[in-house]
Every structure is written in C-alpha cells, then in structure tokens.
Amino acid sequence: MAFGVQLVPNGVIKYVYPFEENKAALNLDVLNSATTSKEALKAIERHKIYFAGPLQLKQGGVGIVGRLPVFIENEFWGFSGVIIKLERLIRNSGISNFEENYRFQLSKVNPVSGKEEFFLEGAEDINLAETEKITIEDGDWNIYISSLNEHEAFNATLPVLILGFLLACVCATITVLVFKRPGELQQLVEVQTGKLLTSELKFKAIFDQAGLGIVHLTADHGKFIEVNKRFCDKLMLTASELKERNFFEFIEGDAALDKNLLEHQKVEVKLIRNDGMPIYVRLTNSPFSSKKGLSYITIVEDITEKKKTRQHLKELKTRMEMAIRVSKLAYWEWNVETDEITWSARMYEIFGVSKDQELGSSLVLSHVYPKDLKKYKRYTKRLLEGDTLKPYEVRIHNTNGGIIYILAHVESEINEKGKVIKLKGSLLDVSKEKRAEKELNHSYKLVLEQNKRLLNFSYIISHNLRSHSSNIQALLNLLGSTSVDEEQKEMLNMLTSVSKSLDETLYDLNDVVNIQKNTTISTEPLLVKKYVDRVLSVLSSQIRSKKVKITLAIPEEAKINFNPAYFESILLNFISNAIRYRHPERIPEITIRFEIEEELKKLSIQDNGIGIDLSKYGEKLFGMYKTFTDHPDSRGMGLFMSKSQLEVLGGKVSVESEVGKGSTFTLYFK
C-alpha cells in the first residue's frame, strides 16, 4: 500500500525508496517548505507520527505523508517518513463496499489556506447537516458519512463503519511501518555493509602501506591495539612483539613521563629503536572513542633526517656567524633585483656607517673613492654579467673621512635561468698593509737613492780627491829632488792650481752630501715665470753678448711646488748649458715652455745648439764628473746636481737631442 519510504535527517529528504519513483522528492527541505512545514512541525511537537496531506506529491499524484519524528538522546534527528497515495488508500479501505447505501466524504482543513477540502467525489451532494462527522487526531482528518436513503436510520451501523474505516487506516499504517520497513532496511544494511567493507579494505590498505607509521593506542597505558608495517620497521620490531609492550616504553626523556602526551594534537619525541639507536618522530594524535572506550590513532612521522638537517643547518649557521664575527670578516650580500643589502657587523665599521642606516647600492657608491669609481663600476658590471673576477682592490672613504684600501672578493649568484640575482662577497681592509707597502717602497727608494749618493761620494773621494792628493804627492816628491829654481817655481804654481781644484772638489762633495742630508727639503708654490725671468736677468750679459734669442711660453700664473733655491740653481744650469753649448754657425735660440700633462707639470728648455750623441752618452749624461766636450767650463757636476735636486723633490728630467741640431731638456715637477 505504501508508495515509498523516506529518511529525512534534519528535515531534508536525503534517502528515498524505491529510488526511481521517489527521487523527485530528494533534497526537499520539509521544515522550510510552505506546503509542508506546518504539519512537519506538528509531528515534532507531538513526538508522534502525523499524517500530513493529502498534498500534491513532488513525485506526482496526491498522497499523504506520515512523518515519524526521530529523537536521539532527546535531540531531534529528523523524520522517518512513509508516503501513501490517497487513491490507493481509499481503494484499500473498503469504503467502496458501502457506497450503495451510504455516501462518504473525507475532508481536511488545508493547513496553509485554512479551508476545508474534500477529497472524494460528490462533495457537493453531501448534506453536512445530515451527516455524522468523525475526526482522526493523527492527521486532523474529518470523515463524513451520510445515508443515501434520507430517513433510514443509520445510527446503528455507524460505529461499525467508522471502526472499519479506521482499522483500514491503522492496518495500512502498521503494515507499512512494521512489516514493510525491515525488509527495506535489510536491503539498506546490505548496501551499507558492502560500502563499509570497501571502505575498510581501503583504510586497511592505507594503514598498512602508509609511508608514515600509524598506531592505534589505548588511552590509558598506550598499549598497541594495532600497528602498521611502517611503524614496526621503524622500531625494528614485529607487530606481535610490539603488542606486548606499550608505546611509552620507547619514548626517551621527559616526554615519557607526560601522562597527557597523547592529548597533544602534535608533539615531537625521541624514540629508541630496538637496536638502541634514537630516532626523532613527530606524533599526530587523534582521539577515537568507541564502545571499548577511548583510544588514540597516532601518526608517527620520522623527522630524524629533518632534525639532523635542521641541526646541521643550525650548526653551520652558528659556525658561519662565529667565523664572520671572530675573523672580523666584512661579509655582504646585495640582492640585485630588490637592491636589498645585508652587511655583517664589520662592514658597518669599515664604512663608518651606523647600524640603523638604510643600506642600498647608492650608499655604497657614494662611499667609493671618486678616482676608483670607474673601475668599481666596470667590475660590478662584469659581475652582473656573470663573470668571475679575481679579488680586486678599490679605495673607499668612510664617513669618518679616512681613505680605506679594500681588497674585495666577489661572487655572483645565478638562478636556474642563468640570471644573476645576487652579488656577495667579503671585504678586507688592507689599508695598513697598503700603507706599510707604500712606506716600504718609499724606504726602498730612499735607500736606493742614498746608496747611489754614497757611490757618488766614494767616487769623488777615490777619483777626484785622490787625483789631487796624488798630484800634490808627486809634486812634492819632484820639488825635493829638483834644484833648479825655475822648475821649482813652475811646480809651486802647479801646487796652487791643484789646491784650487781640490777646493772645488770639496765644494762639489759638500753639495752632494747636502742633497743627501736634506731629504726633507721645504717646498712652496713658486711662480715659474718669475724665476725664469730672474735667471735670465742673471745671465743677461751672456745673452746680450752671444745674441741669444729667448722665447718664453709660460703662463703668468703657472706655479709649481718646489724649493726656490733648487729651482733657481736648476734653471741656471740648464739655461747656461743651452748658451754654453750653442752652435758656432747659428744664432742661438732658446725656447722655454711650460705645460701641464696628465697632472705632471712640464718645463722644457729647447736649444738649437751642438746637440749630444745620446746613443754614445745617453746613460752617462747625468752622471757625476761626466764631461763630453773639451769646453773649459764643463766639470761634469751641473747635470748631475740638477737631476739630483729634481729627484729629491719627486721630479725627473728627460732629454731629446740630435747632434748638430740641438737639445731639449724636459723637467717634470710633481
């Protein structure tokens, strides 16, 4: 008789049977649908079955729905419902047997509209005043019976009829609720069991084959209810061996004493394997309650490797940080894309920048020594292109104003696409070494210079002083052995001449020693033009008598830093040389020119004199007592002295010459 059954958890139709005929009703929310909610709520209110309808069924036709509210622990769970098609109910009720003599009518007040609705044919014929009315509580139904023969007394039969009808109704209900349902439920159980079986197999497979250890533990003692293979392998024990022990036995440390260990959803502990080796695991505990009481499903994840790696990384990091700190290493990283810069503490010290200063490439650039900026940019560009560079030197000035020599080791970090994403490296403050090196170089030069002068000194002693003294000795010898007055007189004249030469040589010696002594000769800015003019005026009588043409190309304001006495002596020497070694067949022309070339100041003295054969004398030109002409005034000291004076003050001299055409001496000043 039932058209279908349904399960309505939370008032929403979720399960129907038979499925095909009733699927249209699925997902109907009976508690919230206008046509059904009132009667559904009535069922809940009454805690009893209530027959709703007749109503238009979603699945077609008119029917009544009996809803049995289900309560679990006094909480409304939903309905268990039965659908009966009205047409079938009436047919089965046996009412038709009475139709010859009586007329029946079934009515109900529509819960929505509030109007009484009649469900049997011929409602318009019935005379309600002459009918008997019976109300059925379980659905607020009204049953009307009236006799077709008006005057026939039907009072006597009436109770029987009503009873019959009611019985029919109740029978139908019972049949549906009691007999029909178990069958269907049985079927459902079978379906569900099948499903469960599949799920359990699946679960079993997951449990056994899982890459993680999974154990099922009792809550109180941590006894193993079930363990998977992975866990057994981890502890190097079999499942049966494990089942005789409890989980806490394997835990080392304080965690073993923690009674509530399993209550932590996630916790890391150290387990001791069967062979005594420790492993680190992370437990994920899920409580699981069943009839047998509370237990825990615990996932055991081996984090030994992770922990080792983490520990290793941590150690590496600490070691690196310590190394950077102890070695006072200036380490830096520059993220090329974001311009983010990371510095070790030492970097801040070197740059003289406070730690709260915001770092960026512009800050670094602003510290690079201007003269090294080009070089720095060139190197950086190459690094950004992925080149590897040898350590290079660059100067920076720190905020305290000092210049610092830096030795930079830099590497570029390249991502998988081959793009340079980071530059990183270390700096070494090599200022001390650099200064020491400079000083050493300076000392070396000084020693070399002094050595040279010492050689010159010994040269003067051995050649010049000795030549005079030997002459005096020889003269005295001869003087003693000769008796001729005239010869004696001649020799005495010679002695005078030798003593004069001796005096000159002593002066030279004095000059040489003086240059050697005064390694710190004071310098001052000198107007070049002023000094040249002064020397020319000293030489003016010679210039006039020899008709020398002098051309000057010296800016009025041109200055050099030099010692005034030296400068005068040098000018005098070179200009007088230019006059002295003039060409006998030409009017002497001397051009004195001042120029600045790459920060070096140049003063050149050009003549059109006899010239010097440099291939022959080049090396010796500036040597002491080197004379290359028979000129009576050349003693071989001038060029030597001038060169020494220039060199002592960081300058130098060079010469260009061609025999018969002239010479140009160029003096370079620092």
Partner 1 sequence: MEFCVIDDDKIYQFLVKKTIKSVDKNFIVNLFEDGLEAITTFKNKGICCTIILLDLNMPNMDGWQFIQEYEKLQQIGDQKHKIYIATSSISKADREKANQFKIVQGYLTKPITKEKIKDLATAV
Binding residues (CB under 8 A) for partner 1: these are 458-459, 462-464, 466-467, 469-471, 473-475, 477-478, 481, 494, 497-498, 625, 627-630, 634, 636
Q: Buried b vs exposed e over 58-88: b needs ≥16 C-beta within 10 Å?
A: bbeeebbbbbbbeeeeeeeebbbbbbbbbee
Smallest distance, Å, CB 667 to partner 1?
Answer: 25
Distance CA 216, CA 239 (A): 12
Q: Give Cα separations from 70 to 7, 78, 127, 408 (angstroms).
A: 10, 5, 41, 83
Contacts of 641 (CB under 8 A, 6+ apart): 511, 512, 515, 569, 573
Smallest distance, Å, CB 615 to partner 1?
Answer: 13
Tell me: cis bond preceding 69? Omega within 30 of 0 counts: no
Q: Which of 542, 473, 501, 471 is nearest to 625 (CA)?
A: 501
Smallest distance, Å, CB 629 to partner 1?
Answer: 7
Q: Is 526 helix (H, G, I), strand (E, B) or coil?
A: strand
Smallest distance, Å, CB 459 to partner 1?
Answer: 7
Rank residues 128 and 478 by Cβ distance to partner 1 and give the closer one.
478
Q: Where are the beta strands (DSSP E) in 291-402?
A: 293-302, 330-335, 340-343, 392-397
Rank residues 123 and 494 by Cβ distance to partner 1 and give the closer one.
494
Rank residues 72 and 484 by Cβ distance to partner 1 and give the closer one.
484
Smallest distance, Å, CB 622 to partner 1?
Answer: 15
Q: Which of 246, 209, 211, 207 is nearest to 225 (CA)?
A: 246
Smallest distance, Å, CB 512 to partner 1?
Answer: 16
SS3 letters for 583-602?
Answer: CCCCCCEEEEEEEEECCEEE
Smallest distance, Å, CB 465 to partner 1?
Answer: 8
Rank residues 387 and 503 by Cβ distance to partner 1 and give the closer one.
503
Rank residues 486 and 599 by Cβ distance to partner 1 and give the closer one.
486
Token digits of residue 501 = 């030469």
Whose tokens are 């059925």? That residue is 136
224: β partners = 217
Distance CA 350, CA 188 (A): 82
Smallest distance, Å, CB 446 to partner 1?
Answer: 23
Rank residues 164 and 636 by Cβ distance to partner 1 and give the closer one.
636
Give the DSSP per-residue string, 287-319: EEEETTEEEEEEEEEE-HHHHHHHHHHHHHHHH
Smallest distance, Å, CB 613 to partner 1?
Answer: 11
Rank residues 12 and 495 by Cβ distance to partner 1 and give the closer one.
495
Determine phi and psi for 62, rounding to 5 degrees: -110, 140
Rank residues 116 and 487 by Cβ distance to partner 1 and give the closer one.
487
Rank residues 473 and 551 by Cβ distance to partner 1 and give the closer one.
473
The DSSP output letter for 358 is P
Rank residues 166 and 475 by Cβ distance to partner 1 and give the closer one.
475
Distance CA 236, CA 228 (A): 12
Smallest distance, Å, CB 498 to partner 1?
Answer: 6
The 10 Å Cβ neighbour count of residue 200 is 11
Rank residues 385 and 630 by Cβ distance to partner 1 and give the closer one.
630
Rank residues 400 and 481 by Cβ distance to partner 1 and give the closer one.
481
Smallest distance, Å, CB 493 to partner 1?
Answer: 10
Contacts of 48 (CB under 8 A, 6+ apart): 68, 69, 138
Distance CA 265, CA 263 (A): 6
Smallest distance, Å, CB 473 to partner 1?
Answer: 5
Distance CA 623, CA 447 (A): 19
The DSSP output letter for 387 is -
